[in-house]
Structure formats: structure tokens, C-alpha cells
Amino acid sequence: MNDTHDDWLAQHVETALEPDLAICDPHHHLWDRQDLPVSAPGERRYLLEDLLTDTGSGHRVVSTVFVECRSEYRSAGPPELQPVGETDFVESVARSSLEIEGAETSVGAGIVSFADLQLGSRVAAVLEAHLAASPDRFRGIRHASGWDPSPEVRNSHTDPPHGLLGDRDFRRGFAELEARGLSFDSWQYHHQLEELLGLAREFPGTTIVLDHVGGPLGIGPWSGRREEIFLHWSRSIVELSGCANVVVKLGGLGMPICGFGHHKLPAPPSSEVLAAAWKPYILHCIESFGVDRCMFESNFPVDKRSCSYVVLWNAFKRIAEGFSSDEKHALFCDTASRVYRLDR
């Protein structure tokens, strides 16, 4: 984050609630992008020391899962194998995190990288290369499919075509995951959830992790339509919950594309404000999927646009305050650890 944004975050400070509750943060990124302008808060640099500063700020984060973000791709070799450089990078970071004296967080205990599933069956070689680069931590891939016809909505960094999840070659590539015990993280927008439903039904043996509560949009042509969008989104969530191979990450709502506008406030919002805004989405997911198929996520540093790490997890803990101890353990740690097989 740049100094200006850090100053903005410093205007509201909270003490961690329930600090002894174990957390597995199943979704964060690491990157060093010095080519980006300084005016892009949180997008230039977020590396191990930055993450550990956040995870060590009050909550008990015992482990994390890294999710692909185009970091440290190989600069040479076949283009389809260049993303394996990201797995190499995070594997090194994960080992380093275990060597830090006093560090309580196992960073990158699980690694989700990118492989172009549009390669069809040829993606098998890429998956094998990821597994060879990190045999103990590589858990799956994400091929983001977020697409919207409006230029006001930024499409996914993978530059996906319209209808990617239904593409014949994509599905041939997707078929390569199950034999290797790999999961698929799905990042798309709310109006694409029907496409994901078809994918989940065709491949019931592959675990699909629905990122960011399914991507409800709230900017551009979707601005000012929250009730309408919620109705459409909520119905899709119920349909997806009928697929036993789908689990959902509870978070990502701090992204500007969701339209809550918290990043534009003069001072950062409190955890009470965030909990009130996010609660309908998160509770609907939990009610639909159950605690054993839901996991809270930070999506840092992307969601750092709206709040600090402490405030984010405080908001989640406020939303979950009515759940039992066992249910909280599932939501904050156990589901993520099981889905990403961190205890094997």
C-alpha cells in the first residue's frame, strides 16, 4: 500500500475480536509490480513481510492459501508453462515463512496457480509442472472468467472470452483436474453463475471453490440495482448449493466493483458498518451451503482498499457472532483446511 492509503487506514483502528479463534485465510495474493503507478494503492507491492504484518496484527492466522495473480511468471520457455514461475515463487515464500523465528502463520500452505484450461487436454503437462514445482503445497488452479459487456466493469486479468466456462476446449482442460485431485477456484460475476452451474453439474468429481460469494457487481450499468441483483444472485446461490462439489468463499465484498463505496469514504468504515453491509450476502451463502462448505477469506491486498486486516476479520466475526463454537471453527479455519487439504 502507498503511504497515503496507509494514512487513510490509520484513521480507524480496532482491537481484534476473539483473538484466540484460529483462522485459515484461504485467499490472498503476493506481488511486486513496480511498473504500476504509485496512485494504485496496494497494487504495487505486497510480499511476505507485508502479509505477515497484516496476519500478525491481532487475529490468530495459523495458515494461508495463495491464489494466482500473475506473479513472477517465467520470462522464457513455452508460454503455457510460464505461469509455473508463480508456483516456484510461492513455494519459496512458503518455505521462508516457516524459517522466520516466532512467526505463527504458515504462509502459502496451499497454492492455487494458473493454467490455461483452453489448452484442452494439453494442459496436463502444465498441471504436472505445477505439481513438480510444489508437490506438497500445490492444490489447484484458477482460470478467472469474469466478463461483462460494459467497459465500466473491468474483466478478469486472464482476458477471458464471453462464455469461457462453457467452451469445449476449456472443459476438456477442466477434465484434467479430477485425476490429479486438483480443485478449481472460480472467479466470475453474478450474471455468469448459471454458466458455473453447468460446469459443476458436468464435473461432480471436481471440487469447485466459488470465490468472493459469486461476484455480485455494483458499478457501471449495475449501479443502483442492488435489490434486483441480490434477488438474481441469491437464486443462483441456492441452485449452486445443490451441487455437492461446490464450496464458497465468504469475502471479496471490499472490492470497488461490488459497489459499496467504502473505499471512497473520508475515513475507513468500522467493522460494524462493514458487517451490516455484507451480512445479507454472507448469511445467505451460509444458509444455502452450510458451514462445512463455507470459508471466510481476506482477499488481501485487494480488499485492503476498503479496510485493514483487523477490521475485515472483526466484521466477519460480528457476522458470525450467533454461531456456535464448532460452526465458527468451520467457517474460520476447518472448512478451508479440509478443502485445500492443508493437514495431509
Give the β-pairing of 208-210 and 183-186.
parallel
Q: Which amino acid is at 183?
A: S
d(CA 118, CA 338): 28
**pLDDT for 204-248, tens place per residue?**
999 999 999 999 999 999 999 999 999 999 999 999 999 999 999
pLDDT digits 0-9 by tens, 127-182: 999 999 999 999 999 999 999 999 999 999 999 999 999 999 999 999 999 999 99
pLDDT at 2 over 60: no
**What pLDDT, on a 0 to 100 scale, did the predictor assign at position 344?**
60
| CATH fourth-level superfamily of 3-339 | Metal-dependent hydrolases (3.20.20.140)
pLDDT of 44 reads 80
Q: How many Cβ atoms from other residues are within 10 Å of residue 75's Cβ? A: 7
Rounded Cα gap, residues 191 and 194, in angstroms:
7
Nearest to 71 by CA among 38, 98, 46, 100: 46
Residue 120: pLDDT band (50, 70, 90) is very high
Per-residue pLDDT tens digits for 35-51: 655 544 456 899 999 99
Confidence (pLDDT) at 205 = 98
Residue 339 — pLDDT band, cuts 50, 70, 90? very high
**What gap in Å lies between CA 86 and CA 88, rounded to an integer?**
5
**DSSP code of residue 248:** E
What mean pLDDT is reported for the chain? 95
If you compute the radius of gyration of the chain from its CA atoms, what whole number of angstroms results? 19
What is the per-residue pLDDT for 4? 83
Q: What are the tens digits of pLDDT across the range 191-201?
A: 999 999 999 99
pLDDT digits (tens, 9 = 90+) for 270-303: 999 999 999 999 999 999 999 999 999 999 999 9
Residue 303: predicted pLDDT: 97
Helix (H, G, I), strand (E, B) or coil at 335: helix
